[in-house]
Amino acid sequence: MKLTMIGLIALATHLFVGSSYAQPAADVSSSNATISNELEQRVIEWRRDIHQHPELSNREFRTAGVVAEHLRALGLEVTTEVAHTGVVGILRGGRPGPTIALRADMDALPVKEMTDVPFASTATGEYRGREVPVMHACGHDLHVAMLMGAAEYLAGVQEQLAGNVMFIFQPAEEGAPEGEEGGAELMLKEGLFDIAKPEAVLGIHVWSAGTTGHIGYRKGPLMASSDRFEIRVLGEQTHGSRPWGGVDPIVVASQIINNVQTIVSRQVDITKAPAVVSFGIVEGGVRNNIIPDEVYLEGTIRNFDMGIRSQIFEKLTTTAEMTAAASGAKAEVTIHEGYPVTVNDPELVARMMPTTERVVGRDKVYEADLVTGAEDFSFYAMEVPGMFVFLGITPPDQNPSTAPSNHSPYFYADEAALRVGTELFINWVLDYPATR
């Protein structure tokens, strides 16, 4: 597909003009591939440029233009406008071998940056119909820069490369705007893996809860599914002095909230996988002495097993409907399915572990705890074996447990981690054929 927003990248051209895109041809069978200081500096420059120009989900026009221009300059086969702004690059190696996919997400968040870095964002965008500040508060700018760096290095050793590499630069990981589709699910729907079907897909997410350069991994479930539910409790309006004259949806809603808590604590096997059901919105009534005719509830469901996920959906609906019926009210339940459980293929993790430990050091690789946050990398890993890891970005002289978290306006990333992530991508690709 033809890119239509090239004009938006003019201000970033100086980052690419005159660059030496090809790395010196290295022996790809060497024990460890490392990037040059020059390439590391370019990765840092790309990261800072993207950080200063963050864009919200499905609006990553400038970022997509920067990425597409870079990949074309490297001689890759480039497809643009996948799932609105997604960019896909294919590097075909000079030797036969498998196709492996590497993924980076590109979107930012409606957050006002409060850090004091010289390249802090002052950008704004439109979110839910109003102008908001925009910040790369989750580190997707680092993901893009690291994958651009990996593409440059691997293009420099293309003739020695066994197999092909698919570089996926994905929009809307943080969720598409209301009324739109987006992200990994839409990329797949629009034929991402028809461009090239990889044997495996690998991803890195920077993580403020980890020390710079440390890698957190986990076999099997890593990140939770994330689903949103709405419950409309329909009663019958009456005066607050005569509750028997109607059906009180506020009382019924409170009973539903309490009863739903028994789903996780009493109705599903939590020894198999943890689960969370939380209410975040309770709305109803306009005056102290009027019992309304409706209460609105909204919440989130998180868990680590797709079978349990289905059970919770069913039990949530039944609990709400039956609780309401017992009081003469009605409950209308709507469940909006979000991201599935992010599951790392155990065999793939085991095969890539020697590479991971060699690149970052065995003492810096640890088994991560389950994370109740969600990631749409999960959609790729449902199609082909996947591996997703966390890359620490909090400086060694700071306590990661107290560092501002991902999505915080004070989110800070130690740029020394960029070299680690870039070299991980490169070495995973170089080592993968020998692990088959």
Q: Do residue 237 and residue 275 come from a single domain? A: yes
**Confidence check: pLDDT of 192 > 90:** yes
What is residue 3's predicted lDDT score, i.e. its pLDDT?
A: 37
Q: Do residue 152 and residue 252 come from a single domain? A: no
What is residue 289's predicted lDDT score, i.e. its pLDDT?
A: 98
Q: Residue 172 carries which DSSP code?
A: -
Number of domains the chain contains: 2
Catalytic residues: 339, 415
What is residue 32's predicted lDDT score, i.e. its pLDDT?
A: 92
pLDDT tens per residue, range 8-35: 443 444 444 334 444 443 445 447 999 9
Query: Domain end: 297, 323, 339, which one?
Result: 339
The range of the structural domain enclosing residue 313 comes to 225-339
Q: Which two tokens stand for residue 435?
A: 């692990």
pLDDT tens per residue, range 133-155: 999 999 999 999 999 999 999 99
d(CA 140, CA 25): 29
pLDDT, averaged across the chain? 94
pLDDT tens per residue, range 267-318: 999 999 999 999 999 999 999 999 999 999 999 999 999 999 999 999 999 9
Q: Which residue has the tokens 């010289």?
A: 118
Q: Do residue 101 and residue 197 come from a single domain? A: yes
Q: Residue 309 carries which DSSP code?
A: H
Q: SS3 of 347, please?
A: helix
DSSP 179-216: T---HHHHHHHTTHHHH---SEEEEEEEEEEEETT-EE
Q: Which two tokens stand for residue 235?
A: 């009663």
Residue 1 inside a domain? The answer is no
Residue 257 inside a domain? The answer is yes
pLDDT tens per residue, range 347-372: 999 999 999 999 999 999 999 999 99
Average pLDDT over residues 33-40: 98
Which amino acid is located at 294 in the chain? E
- Return the percentage of the chain with pLDDT > 70, whole number: 93
Task: Write the burial class of residue 83 (CB in 10 Å: 0-12 exposed, 13-18 middle, 19+ buried).
Answer: buried
Average pLDDT over residues 121-140: 97
pLDDT tens per residue, range 387-432: 999 999 999 999 999 999 999 999 999 999 999 999 999 999 999 9
pLDDT tens per residue, range 244-267: 999 999 999 999 999 999 999 999
What is residue 144's predicted lDDT score, i.e. its pLDDT?
A: 99
- CATH number of the structural domain spanning residue 151: 3.40.630.10
Residue 108 inside a domain? The answer is yes
Stated as kind and residue range, the H or E segment containing 77 is strand 77-82
What is residue 168's predicted lDDT score, i.e. its pLDDT?
A: 99
What is residue 332's predicted lDDT score, i.e. its pLDDT?
A: 98
Residue 42 inside a domain? The answer is yes
Q: Do residue 218 and residue 102 come from a single domain? A: yes
Largest CA distance in the chain: 84
What is residue 14's predicted lDDT score, i.e. its pLDDT?
A: 40
Query: Domain end: 290, 309, 339, which one?
Result: 339
Give the pairing type, strands 200-211 and 386-394.
parallel
pLDDT tens per residue, range 46-104: 999 999 999 999 999 999 999 999 999 999 999 999 999 999 999 999 999 999 999 99
What is residue 11's predicted lDDT score, i.e. its pLDDT?
A: 40
Quick one: pLDDT band at residue 212, thresholds 50, 70, 90?
very high
Q: Do residue 179 and residue 307 come from a single domain? A: no
What is residue 59's predicted lDDT score, i.e. its pLDDT?
A: 98
Q: Do residue 104 and residue 119 come from a single domain? A: yes
Q: Do residue 190 and residue 278 come from a single domain? A: no
pTM score, whole prediction:
0.91
Sign of the dihedral defined by the CA atoms of residues 203, 205, 209, 213, in that order = positive
Q: Do residue 248 and residue 179 come from a single domain? A: no
Task: Give me the numbers of helices (H) and strands (E) for the chain, helices first please.
Answer: 10, 18
Q: Do residue 79 and residue 145 come from a single domain? A: yes
What is residue 341's predicted lDDT score, i.e. its pLDDT?
A: 98
Can you name the residues that pair with 227 across neighbouring β-strands?
301
Q: Do residue 80 and residue 178 come from a single domain? A: yes
What is residue 263's predicted lDDT score, i.e. its pLDDT?
A: 98
Q: Do residue 178 and residue 61 come from a single domain? A: yes
d(CA 212, CA 29): 27
Residue 22 inside a domain? The answer is no
- CATH number of the structural domain spanning residue 271: 3.30.70.360
Residue 147 inside a domain? The answer is yes
Query: Domain end: 317, 339, 361, which one?
Result: 339
Q: Do residue 122 and residue 259 come from a single domain? A: no
